[in-house]
Amino acid sequence: MKEFKVGIIGFGTVGAGVASCLLKNADVIAKRTGITPVLAGIADLDIETDRGVVVPKELLTTDASAMIRNVDVVVELIGGTTIAKKFILEALNAGKSVVTANKALLAEHGEELFAAAEKNNADLYYEASVGGGIPIIKGLREGFSGNRISRMYGILNGTCNYILTRMEKEEIDFAPVLKDAQQLGYAEANPSLDIDGFDTAHKASILASLAYGKWLGMDPVYVQGIRDITLADIKNADELGYKIKLLAIIKQSEQGEVEVRVHPAMIPKTTQLAAISGVFNGVMVTGDYVGDTLFYGRGAGREATASAVVGDIVDIGRNIVNKAARRIPGFMEGIQYSRIKPMDEVDSRYYLRVQVLDVPGVLEKVAGILSKNGISISSMLQREGQKHSNVTMLIITHCTKEKAIRSAIAEINGLPDVRNSVNLIRIEDI
């Protein structure tokens, strides 16, 4: 049986899951593939804490650099964009192939890392960086290689999906659900990376880069989180036939323009994507030949993420033991788009919730501002209230430019009869 040595940097939740899988399922991998991954080292600053997996003590070390020198494949699972980058470059420059789940590092420094991999004839695999155990990277890189990708929609953050699902099903507002999510371990003590959309944005950048042939980085990605979503918005969306999801939206127009954005969106309740609830993730990919496809599964967690990491380890192992040419799984430098479309130029329909004083003429003023900005109203509803009290006005627009809606909202917020800032949610008619 052909063997190759694997070293893990980072013995946290996912690192422990990868170690457990390699130790438990090495025989399954060997029978399926004819190769055996041998766990040869685990490096971490803390090698004393019990991780719930029995590992021979001689495999544990605090010297990551020494371990890198003695293995064939390095698995980086410490996260962040500083020390992790140092160790990945150290491994690649030594000609060692790398597996990582580090979406932030890839989104921000992917171009540099893949250049190092190519220069040193090393593999760099990253399936677990997007969607946990969902094989979306392999799908895009291999299964859809003969397709032009026109759009991708992704529910890519389990924390946000859990919060929005509970708000909807239990009619609880945002703050108490977030607190519960933190107590249950679904959200961090500082939840900003998740609820403000940045985790999803890192993943969106990776997917867009893979689909369109060049690392985009984070600058072109529009990011908005779910902090401003209220229970009232959830209920209104339900009445209108929609659900609210934090969505990664990646589209390419017929002219080749690409837009990459992350924000809450209303999507029709009848779509399969809308049915994805709780901590689960889903990605819808549309290709010109394959049509619509949907990937669904656990987007995080020890076992799901470990499954994706071990899949990458096995792919690289096949190359190593068979002395095959490296298959650097990025893309050849071939840009497949004309330009990145700025957010101001994005076309969308919009839901607007406006709190106004119930006095004559206020509806006419709001409608007039929208009309002046070239925005056509699809439907408008004013909730009944007491005279001279605050009432809610709900407006659904036809498709219009982001720049126009922003200009209109700024004017509406300046009206003396408007009591709170206009709440905006984009509508995606998937």
Strands of the 60-61 sheet, one edge to the other: 60-61, 35-43, 2-9, 73-76, 97-100, 124-125
Sort 132 into a burial class: Cβ within 10 Å, 0-12 / 13-18 / 19+: buried
Buried b (16+ CB within 10 A) or exposed e, 242-268: bbbbbbbbbbbeeeebbbbbbbbbbbe
Relative to beta strand 390-397, strand 377-382 is antiparallel
CA distance 237 to 274: 12
Sort 306 into a burial class: Cβ within 10 Å, 0-12 / 13-18 / 19+: buried
Residues, the chain, total? 430
Give all strands (DSSP E) within 358-430, no chain letters. 377-382, 390-397, 400-401, 423-427
- Count of CB atoms situated within 10 Å of the CB of 26: 18
C-alpha closest to that of 345 among 223, 261, 254: 261
Structure tokens at 142: 């291999």
Kind plus residue range of the DSSP H or E element containing 245 = strand 242-252
- Residues β-bridged to residue 39: 6
CA distance 184 to 192: 17
Cβ 125 vs Cβ 329: under 8 Å: yes
Catalytic residue flag (residue 203): yes
Sign of the Cα torsion 181, 229, 193, 204 reads positive
Q: Which of 5, 96, 103, 203 is catalytic?
A: 203
- Residues β-bridged to residue 250: 152, 260
- 3-state SS, residue 249: strand
Cβ 1 vs Cβ 35: under 8 Å: yes
Cβ 101 vs Cβ 126: under 8 Å: yes
CA distance 80 to 100: 11
Give the active site residues: 203
